[in-house]
């Protein structure tokens, strides 16, 4: 068991004619408080899972679906040119395959149905073991009425 050391230091008191001894306690060698120990354990777990021994994932293909609302339905005022610029970055710079879909309000169908259709078709067309799928959505989202999921709206 490691022993702790203490050193006495003489400090002048407010009255300069007296001095008082102050004790500094030095923790034992190898001492680590509980929080630091816990942080150290979490770091070790993180390092183990993120270390170089874990091979990086290489995708053969990357597909990007960009969803945005028609200008007349978009209260966020996302310009179609901005979405097109982002599509150009994915396609021209990163060389990803892109699909852009414009969503429209339809009084006979809930907007979520259109989004679900585009997402399902995108996944059905491109899902593969070595394929990364990216979805960009320019719109609002809220907790669904039943509280069991996300509802996407213009």
Q: Strands, E, within 47-104: which ranges?
A: 61-69, 97-103
- Model confidence pLDDT, tens digit, residues 65-123: 999 887 766 555 667 788 899 999 999 999 999 999 988 877 777 778 888 999 999 99
Name, in order, each residue with C-beta under 8 angstroms of 140's C-beta and a sequence gap of 6 or more: 75, 76, 152, 153, 154
- Model confidence pLDDT, tens digit, residues 8-36: 555 555 555 555 566 676 666 666 667 76
């Amino acid at each position: 068991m490691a022993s702790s050391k203490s050193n006495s230091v003489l400090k002048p008191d407010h009255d300069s004619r007296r001095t008082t001894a102050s004790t500094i306690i030095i923790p034992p060698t190898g001492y680590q408080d509980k929080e630091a120990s816990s942080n150290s354990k979490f770091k070790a777990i993180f390092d183990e899972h993120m270390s170089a021994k874990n091979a990086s994932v290489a995708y053969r293909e990357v597909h990007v679906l960009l969803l945005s609302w028609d200008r007349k339905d978009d209260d966020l005022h996302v310009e179609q040119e901005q979405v097109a610029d982002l599509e150009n970055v994915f396609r021209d710079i990163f060389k990803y395959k892109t699909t852009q879909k414009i969503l429209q309000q339809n009084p006979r169908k809930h907007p979520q149905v259109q989004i679900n259709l585009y997402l399902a078709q995108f996944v059905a067309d491109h899902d593969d073991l070595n394929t990364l799928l990216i979805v960009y959505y320019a719109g609002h989202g809220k907790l669904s009425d039943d509280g069991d999921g996300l509802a996407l709206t213009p």
